[in-house]
Amino acid sequence: MPFDEPEVWGNCGLPSQISLGHYLFYRLRQLNVNTIFGLPGEFIMPLLDKIYSIPELRWAGNANELNAAYAADGYARIKNLACLVTTFGVGELSAINGIAGSFAEHVGVLHIVGMPPTSAQVKQLLLHHTLGNGDYSIFHRLASDVSEHTTVLTDLDICAQEIDRCIALAYKKRRPVYVGIPVNFVDALVDSAPLSIPLDLSMPPNNPELENEVVDAVLDLIYKAESPAIIADGCVSRYNISAELHELVELTQFPVFSTPMGKGAFDEQDPHFGGTFVGSMSSPEVREVVDFCDFVLVVGALLSDFNTGSFNFSYRAKNTALLFSNFVKLKNAMYPDLELSYLLRALIAKLDPTKIRYRPQPVPEVIRAKIKLMDNVPLRQEWVWSQISNWFQEGDVIITETGTSAFGINQTKFPSSTNCISQSLWGSVGYSLGACLGASFATLEEKKGCRVILFVGDGALQLTVQELSTIIRWGLTPYIFVMNNNGYTIDRLLHRKSNAGYHDIQPWHNLKLLSTFGALNYDARQIKTVGDFSALVNDENFAKNGIIRMIEIILPSMDAPPALMEKWLLDDTMDVDLSKRMLDWHDRDDGRGNKKAKSNWQSPASL
């Protein structure tokens, strides 16, 4: 990686006094943060200078602040912590939607905001990038609603401690923490000695009495269950408790499903894995098990109920135990202040498998039987998602976007040791390309050699496209599958006015983006047919992630993964006429007004 020549202090130890800016970055690097995201601005350049003198630390230099926040989020989902640096007012507000997403989805991001010098604030002088009313605290107040904690450094005597406290908090709580640093503090000298003491990142132990009560209650439900299921939700990855979850499954032999946000947290090659539970959008086989369970144990719960325009999500079992990151819900009883990993380990320690009533049943097959189609058949989402699992490899980092790809991925079966990144709860369109950049850095740092694979719709790509430039600049090599269905397809389906103008987008020459943004070594290709796809996934060279690749998959505009299609075809409230029209649409043209021969596409129901 092209690190700048640093003024290296090396391993000989730091001077006894260093700048606050250096302190911040050395501490972050101690926590395995090697890439800093953001954009330069009026009040942060002295801070950014420090990065260049610290080995194994780089400034990503994003293309805009919202993309930078998305990138920090994607990075933290793999490395547990990220750092975003923006400038007062204009920078931080541009990023706030990304920070809110990290807050919603439990992702630890330290948001450093470069602030005007303390003197200006005290004297109420109007400055660039303000609202013109002398109020310097306003943006910090705005941030407090979407952060675990916010602070602005004001006391030089304790600012290093404050930085340590905030970093530890972001890490432990897996949520954004905001630290405003006045530009005149950056070069203030602080003692470097505290850096030789690692931060305490442990949570306090659970109250033993409370923990025992809950462990006993959960064990009771486990023992008595006759048709149970374990659901792996988002906080399994967030809190790195995959090993504990695996152990629990070994002990109980319960079938395991993941939520969309939990996908990849449990090894999908494990024989206990039965697929993705997506509430009312689950496959019939999964719904059959989960909706008719007498006991559902959700490990690493992020949500208990969830509604979107597309589906409802709730647990219908008679008995439920939801283990959130720091509280537990047993049916309707709420038990606060229980840290998840401690609780799980206590549960595992006390679990006696001989008391389990459940007799293991076969879990549903995740993958449907392979649909054999002829090479010249145009591609459809259903077929692509049913085939792509065969192309995934161990270690892959797979990223999907809000839209059809977030549903399609639930049809796939992951190899072991895969990470899945998807902003299913916050659902900000455009997140995925920024996250892909962040995840690419993280993968290079943590899972060197592993591939990063992005599925993004042509519509979503437009919101944050410039982050391709940063990916190119750093020589990162993700696979970028652009699902080109000619516009905002998920909205067409959601709103059932498929011909509304606002679903259309300006058609881009997506395959020219890489070269336009300065890529020299790249692969950009379009695939349209079953044959194209098969050739691609069987190509050994293509399987190696040596260069940046964009693969544009041409799909019809009213095409979506089966789960979505079935919902609309079977929905009571939908008029018969419209469902017929939607089927006709598939056969009438390719979504761009080009007539074609009648396709071989058949409703999944008829297979």
Q: Within positions 288 to 327, which residues make up the interface with a second copy, using CB under 8 A?
A: 302-309
Indicate the residue type of 509. Answer: H
Sign of the dihedral defined by the CA atoms of residues 497, 500, 505, 507, in that order: positive
Listed residue (407, 28, 6, 408) closest to 199, CA to CA: 28
Interface residue with a second copy among 425, 569, 578, 583 (CB under 8 A) is: 425
Half-sphere exposure of 521 (CA within 13 A, CB side): 9
The interaxial angle of helices 576-588 and 562-570, nearest 10 deg, is: 140
- Supply the minimum distance, in Å, between the C-beta of residue 312 and a second copy: 9
Residue span binding a second copy (CB under 8 A) among the ranges 8-16, 264-272, 354-362, 506-514: 506-514
Choose between 331 and 495: whose C-beta lies nearer to a second copy.
Answer: 495
Binding site annotation covers 459? no
* Residue (88 or 266) nearer to a second copy, CB: 88
Range 388-395 contact pairs with CB under 8 angstroms and sequence separation of 24 or more: 388/412, 388/537, 389/413, 389/414, 390/537, 391/537, 391/543, 392/418, 392/453, 393/451, 393/543, 394/418, 395/447, 395/449, 395/450, 395/451
SS3 177: strand
Distance between CA atoms of residues 431 and 399, nearest Å: 10
- Nearest distance from C-beta of residue 213 to a second copy, angstroms: 25
Q: Does 217 bind a second copy (CB under 8 A)?
A: no
Only one of the segments 46-54, 411-419, 477-485, 548-556 lies at the binding site for a second copy (rule: CB under 8 A); that segment is 46-54
Nearer to a second copy, 234 or 562 (CB): 234
Nearer to a second copy, 175 or 380 (CB): 175
CB 193 within 8 A of CB 13: no
Q: How far apart are CA 485 and CA 533, in angstroms?
A: 16
Q: How far apart are CA 344 and CA 245, in angstroms?
A: 8
Closer CB to a second copy, 130 or 150, in the complex: 130
Which of 366/558 has CB closer to a second copy?
558
SS (H, E, C) 590-601: CCCCCECCCCCC
Burial code (b: 16+ CB inside 10 Å, e: under 16) for 137-168 equals eebbeebeebbbbbbbbeeeeebbebbbbbbb
Query: Least distance from C-beta 458 to a second copy, angstroms?
Result: 12
Closest CA to 420 of 218, 232, 178: 232
Touching a second copy, residues 130-149 (CB under 8 A) = 130-132, 138, 141-142, 145-146
Q: Which x/- pattern over 351-390 shows residues binding a second copy (rule: CB under 8 A)? A: ----------------------------------------
Segment interacting with a second copy, rule: CB under 8 A, options 43-51, 354-362, 532-540, 578-586: 43-51
* C-beta of residue 380 within 8 angstroms of C-beta of residue 484: no
Measured CA to CA, the distance from residue 107 to residue 238 in angstroms comes to 7
Cα separation, 222 vs 220, in Å, equals 5
Q: How many CB atoms lie within 10 A of CB 39?
A: 23
Q: Measured from the CB atom, is 215 or 463 closer to a second copy?
A: 463
Shortest Cβ 578–a second copy spacing (Å): 15
Among 9, 26, 223, 426, binds a second copy (CB under 8 A): 426
Whose Cβ is closer to a second copy: residue 70's or residue 601's? 70
Which residues from 2-41 bind a second copy, rule CB under 8 A?
4, 39-41
Q: Residue 504 CB: number of other CB atoms within 10 A?
A: 14
Q: Which residues contact 544 (CB under 8 A, 6 or more apart)?
A: none
Based on C-alpha coordinates, what's the Rg of the chain?
25
Q: Which residues, 54 to 113, sit near a second copy by CB under 8 A?
A: 59, 61, 63-64, 66, 89-90, 93-94, 96-97, 100-101, 103-105
Q: How far apart, in whole angstroms, are the C-alpha atoms of residue 397 and residue 505?
A: 29
- What is the closest distance, in whole angstroms, from the C-beta atom of residue 473 to a second copy in the complex? 4
Restricting to residues 521-560, name those near a second copy by CB under 8 A: none
Among 154, 161, 240, 516, binds a second copy (CB under 8 A): 516
Q: How far is the CB of 391 from a second copy (least distance, A)?
A: 28
Helix axes 90-104, 65-79, angle to 10 degrees: 30
Between 161 and 516, CB nearer to a second copy: 516
Residues 210, 337 contacting (CB under 8 angstroms): yes
Residue 485 labelled as part of a binding site = yes
Q: Does 119 bind a second copy (CB under 8 A)?
A: no
Q: Is 6 exposed, middle or buried (0-12, 13-18, 19+ CB in 10 A)?
A: middle
Please give the DSSP secondary-structure letter assigned to residue 337: S
153-192 residues near a second copy, rule: CB under 8 A: none
Q: How far is the CB of 138 from a second copy (least distance, A)?
A: 5
Minimum Å gap between C-beta 228 and a second copy is 24
475 marked as binding residue: no
Could you say whether residue 504 binds a second copy (CB under 8 A)?
yes
Task: State which residue, 492 or 586, has the beta carbon closest to a second copy.
Answer: 492
Q: Which residues of 189-205 are buried (b: 16+ CB within 10 A; e: fewer)?
A: ebebeebeeebeeeeee
Taking the complex as a whole, the smallest distance from the CB of residue 303 to a second copy amounts, in Å, to 6
Q: How many residues contact a second copy, by CB under 8 A?
A: 84
- Cβ distance to a second copy smaller for residue 430 or 478: 430
Minimum gap (Å) between residue 504 Cβ and a second copy: 8
Which of the residues 462 through 501 are near a second copy (CB under 8 A)?
A: 462-466, 469-470, 472-473, 488, 491, 494-495, 497, 500-501
To a second copy, the closest distance from the beta carbon of 573 in angstroms equals 15
Is residue 120 a contact point for a second copy (CB under 8 A)? yes
For a second copy, the closer CB: 309 or 362: 309
Q: Which is nearer to a second copy, 201 or 500 (CB)?
A: 500
Burial class (CB in 10 A: 0-12, 13-18, 19+), 370: exposed
**Scanning residues 560 to 599, which ones bind a second copy (CB under 8 A)?**
none
Feature table: binding site for Mg(2+): 458, 485, 487
Residues forming the annotated binding site? Answer: 458, 485, 487
